[in-house]
Amino acid sequence: MRRYLAFRILQLPLILAAIYLLTFFLTWVVPGSPFDKDDKVSDKLAMKLMAQRFHADQWQSFLAYYPLRIVRGDFGQSMQYSDWSVTDIVKSALPISMALGLFALSIATVAGVGIGVLAAVKRGGIWDFLSLTIALVGISVPSFVVASALLLFFCVRHPWFAISRCESIADLILPGIALALLPMAYITRLTRVAMLDVLSSDFVRTARAKGLSRAAVIWKHCLKHALLPVFTYLGPAAAATLTGSFVVETVFNIPGLGQHFVNSVRNKDQTLILAVVMIYSTLLLVLNLLVDIGYSLLDPRISVQEKAAS
C-alpha cells in the first residue's frame, strides 16, 4: 500500500509537468508568442517587463524559466490588467472561489445523501419523487439556467437577496444552490442506488435479527456502504463544481477565480490562463489522490493496489 502511495505521489509532479507543457503549448506557442505579436490587448510595458524577467526572447527559454518562477509563487504580470500581477489576482480571487465551491459541495453532499437515503428507505413516497426530480433537473438543466432562474426569482421579483455582494455567507446561498444542483443530482442517485443495494444484504437481516431498530440498521450498518460510492465521486464532483463556478460566478457577479479565468480567455491573457490552469489542476489532482487514499482507509476489504488493479 505504501509503495502504491509513493508511486502516486511521484506521478503527481510528472502529470503536472505534462499539463503545464500542454497548456503552455496551447496558449503560448500555437497562437504565437505575445512577445512578438502586435496585439492591441496586451500592454507593451508589461510585456517588456515579462520578457526581461523570464528570458522570453525565445519561447523555449521562456518555457524553462517560467516554472521556476511559478514555484517561487511569482506568476508574472497579467496581460490584461497592467497594474496587477497575476499573483495578486489569484490571491484575492481564489479564496472566494474556494469558499463558494466548498459551500456548494457541502450542500450537495448533505442534501444529496439525505434525500438519497430517504428515497431508498421510503420507497414510492415523496422522497422518492423528490430524488427523481432533483436528479433529472440537476443533470439536464444547465447551471446558468438555474442560476438565472434563482436570480430572477429571488433578487428581482422578490428581493430577498442582494446581487453581486460578497461579504457574508448569506450571499453565497443562492450561488451555492445553483452550483450544488449538478453534483447533488449525482450524489442523490448514487446514494439511492447504493442504499437499495445494501438494504437487501444478508447482514442487514442479521442486524435486524439481533434486535436493532430499522433506524439503527440504516444509519449504522447501511450508511457506510452507501457513502463509499459517493466518496469516490468527490473527485469528479469537485471538477464539476469547478466548471459550474465559471458560469455561476458570472451570473451572480462574484469576483472569484472562475470569472477572472473566463475574462482571461476572452482577452487572451496568457499568464493568467496558465496560472489558473496550473492551480486548478494541482487542486484537483491532489484531491483525487486524497480521495483514493481515503477510500482504501474507509473500506477495510480493499487495499489500494487491489482497487487500482480493478
Segment lying near another protein (by CB under 8 A), choices 58-66, 100-108, 155-163, 165-173 = 155-163
Q: Round to whole Å and give the CA distance between 126 and 261.
A: 41
Q: Is 178 in the site for another protein (CB under 8 A)?
A: no
Pick from 50, 113, 221, 271 the residue near another protein by CB under 8 A: 221
- Residue of 294, 297, 292 whose CA lies nearest to 310: 292
Q: Is 265 in the site for another protein (CB under 8 A)?
A: yes
Q: How far is the CB of 276 from another protein (least distance, A)?
A: 8
When the beta carbons of 85 and 191 are compared against another protein, the nearer one is 191
Q: Which sign, positive or negative, has the C-alpha torsion 302, 303, 305, 308? A: positive
Q: Is 303 in the site for another protein (CB under 8 A)?
A: no
Q: How far is the CB of 5 from another protein (least distance, A)?
A: 16
- Residue of 106, 105, 110, 103 whose CA lies nearest to 166: 103
Segment lying near another protein (by CB under 8 A), choices 61-69, 72-80, 87-95, 285-293 = 285-293
Pick from 1, 9, 15, 64 the residue near another protein by CB under 8 A: 15
Q: Round to whole Å and give the CA distance between 55 and 47.
A: 12
* Stretch 44-73 residues interacting with another protein (CB under 8 A): none
Q: Round to whole Å and give the CA distance between 236 and 242.
A: 10
Pick from 281, 293, 295, 307 the residue near another protein by CB under 8 A: 281
Pick from 9, 17, 21, 26 the residue near another protein by CB under 8 A: 26
Q: Is 164 in the site for another protein (CB under 8 A)?
A: no
* Stretch 79-108 residues interacting with another protein (CB under 8 A): none
Pick from 10, 71, 169, 209 the residue near another protein by CB under 8 A: 209
For 62-71, b where at least 16 C-beta lie within 10 A, e where not — what string? bbeebeeebe
The CA–CA distances, whole Å, from 219 to 109, 195, 199, 215, 302 equal: 16, 11, 11, 6, 22
Q: Is 266 in the site for another protein (CB under 8 A)?
A: yes
Q: Is 39 in the site for another protein (CB under 8 A)?
A: no
| Per-residue interface string for the shown chain with another protein, residues 110-149, x marking contact by CB under 8 A | ---------------------xx--xx--xxxx-xx--xx
Q: Which sign, positive or negative, has the C-alpha torsion 31, 240, 264, 279? A: negative
Count of chain residues binding another protein (CB under 8 A): 77
Q: Round to whole Å and give the CA distance between 9 and 12.
A: 5
Q: Round to whole Å and give the CA distance between 132 and 106.
A: 20
Residues β-bridged to residue 77: 85
Pick from 4, 27, 42, 174 the residue near another protein by CB under 8 A: 27
Q: How far is the CB of 72 from another protein (least distance, A)?
A: 24
When the beta carbons of 83 and 211 are compared against another protein, the nearer one is 211
Q: How many CB atoms lie within 10 A of CB 170?
A: 11
Q: Is 151 in the site for another protein (CB under 8 A)?
A: yes
**Angle separating helix axes 223-252 and 173-199, nearest 10 degrees:** 160
Pick from 1, 95, 110, 203 the residue near another protein by CB under 8 A: 203
